[in-house]
Chains A and B, each alone.
Chain A
Amino acid sequence: MNSSLVFLIVFGVVILAVILIYNGIISRANAAQRAWANVITQERQKNKIIPHLQTITDQYQQFESGVQEKIAALRSALGGLSSEKMDTAKLAEVESATRNLVQGMHIAVENYPELKANELFGKLMREIAEQQENIGAAIRIFNQNVEAFNNGIEMFPHSLVNSLLNKKSTLHTFNDSEAEAGFDYKPNF
């Protein structure tokens, strides 16, 4: 076979591989971006429950005093989230505000057992629990996609294509620092 033809075939294969790797990096970056937007969408679902919480606080005056501040804190934290910018610190703030609110509601139930019998309160607690499960799942999907993206730009020969063409940096996975603080073990990476 003509040596120039062999060269052309090899060159064609290399170009094709570079195109595939380049597009792969773009698609994984977009998947991570979409997963992030998904996390934010799930977080914003919390706005749905705030009016119901207001109804409850109107019914139980004493309940209002402790929980009202926490609702305001959650609302403000939700306002700081952006689906464009992957800010895991802001996400941690929302998660912390949610945890405080749920904790406040549990304390309120202990102090005012009649709340337990309130149908709306029961539905609200169920909705909050499901929302938290969905947020947990959305974060898991985001972290999975970030891992796939990071692998896609750090492994050879993807790293070569990325450094020459895509020029993307690794993304940070979401870590819950409050939950992490409960462990003595700290991974050394």
Chain B
Amino acid sequence: MDKASPSSENKQLATFLQSLRTQIYHAKTREDLRHVLHTVRSFGRPLCYNNTSYWLGFSMGILLGLLAILYAYWYPSSVSAPWLIGAGGLTSVIFAVLIYMRRSKVSDLSDALFKQDVYLDNNWQSVPYHGKKLAAQLSRQFSEFKRGNHSREIEWLVKGTYQGTDHQFDYHAYHFHYVDQRQVTSTIRDSKGNVRVTTRTVYDHFHRYGLYLPFRFARNIAITNSWFGGFFSSSYKPASVEFNRKFKVSASDELSAAKFLKPAVVVEIEDLGKALSGLNLEFNAASELCISFEQNICQWQRQHGLDEPDAFLQEIEGDQKLATLQKTLERIHTLMRHSDNNF
């Protein structure tokens, strides 16, 4: 059998990758993802471009540059040598970028496929949103999003569903990026002893993560570890010294806070605070909960890729449920269980 030329091999691979992209994009079940990986296995060769011609171009560029340097060394007055050095350098940079782009094509597809798997395993759906508009809308619902005097933006958002033993609820998980702007004044003394005062603007970037969801059993209560402003007029302290050391409770009225903060709820929040730093729980007037913290609990990392389909298939077969997220959802469910009425 005749061996296909590198260019036709690459063309065939590009077409195959394009069809894979479409399949991954439309994958709705784990079976669909499995099918993608079986297709990769049946492709019959590794998903790698034949970059011989690009490497040749890269080497030629380097060689041209080196020869031009030598030429410039022997003939320092030469006008064309610097141009040749530049042309050689540019050629090798262009080919290096092309090689890198080809390599990342496969890696990007592996990322996309793994992301789909993570979304499926965690019961997530992508939702359309505009980062700045959504942050503005959320700042009207929760004080948490009033942080940042310069800019506020939701950088990532997903919608999920949690099914517990007693309650089922939908939630949104987000990544909130906000920027504080401040003026810094410094005094500089020059060599002649003159004092000059300069003012510059500094931008501090912060990232917080969290979930927001309907929580119909509590309203107008804020339990905050990362305190940044007033929430409600009344304050309340439950009996736990440890809880009071870590959290401040404010509510529209003390009684509703006392009713909500049953001992089981208090210890659940204590434990939640141990797992998540900078934890805030805000129940707004519309009976919605925003639980926010400093760690990104919706992070994932793949171990394998499409270049090793068997290992990748095994990885995809595994459960990609994000442990800290699941534990947090479980704890929210416990809060619901203790706040509802059994009779």
The reply on B6 being an interface residue by CB < 8 A is: no
Chain A nearest Cβ from B341, distance in angstroms:
9
Q: Which residues of A are found within 8 Å of B243, using beta-carbon distances?
A: 141
A42 to B262, CA, bound (A): 9
Q: Which residues of B are found within 8 Å of A136, using beta-carbon distances?
A: 264
The reply on B240 being an interface residue by CB < 8 A is: yes
CB pair A137 B267 closer than 8 Å: yes
CB pair A130 B240 closer than 8 Å: no
CB pair B264 A144 closer than 8 Å: no
Q: Which residues of B are found within 8 Å of A38, using beta-carbon distances?
A: 239, 263
Q: How many residues of chain A get a CB closer than 8 Å to chain B's CBs? A: 24
CB pair A144 B240 closer than 8 Å: yes
CB pair A130 B342 closer than 8 Å: yes
Question: Which of B241, B267, B337 meets A148, CB within 8 Å?
Answer: B241
CB pair A127 B262 closer than 8 Å: no
CB pair A123 B262 closer than 8 Å: no
Known contacts A42-B263, A130-B338, A137-B263: A123-B343 contact under CB 8 Å: yes
Chain A nearest Cβ from B336, distance in angstroms:
11
CB pair A141 B240 closer than 8 Å: yes
Question: Which of B166, B242, B338 meets A134, CB within 8 Å?
Answer: B338
CB pair B343 A127 closer than 8 Å: yes
CB pair B267 A127 closer than 8 Å: no
Known contacts A123-B342, A133-B338, A134-B338: A31-B264 contact under CB 8 Å: no
Can you report 9 A-B residue pairs in the complex whose CB atoms are below 8 A from each other? Answer: A28-B241, A31-B239, A38-B263, A130-B337, A133-B264, A134-B263, A137-B262, A141-B267, A144-B242
Seen from chain A, the residues whose Cβ lies within 8 Å of a Cβ on chain B are: 28, 31, 34-35, 37-38, 42, 52, 123, 126-127, 130, 133-138, 140-142, 144-145, 148
Q: A37-B239, A126-B166 are in contact. List 19 more A-B contacts (CB 8 A).
A: A31-B239, A31-B241, A35-B239, A38-B239, A38-B263, A123-B343, A127-B343, A130-B264, A130-B337, A133-B338, A135-B263, A136-B264, A137-B264, A137-B267, A137-B268, A140-B263, A141-B263, A141-B267, A145-B240
Seen from chain B, the residues whose Cβ lies within 8 Å of a Cβ on chain A are: 166, 238-243, 262-264, 266-268, 337-338, 342-343
Closest 10 A/B residue pairs (Cβ): A137-B263, A138-B263, A137-B264, A137-B267, A141-B240, A127-B342, A35-B239, A134-B264, A38-B239, A133-B264
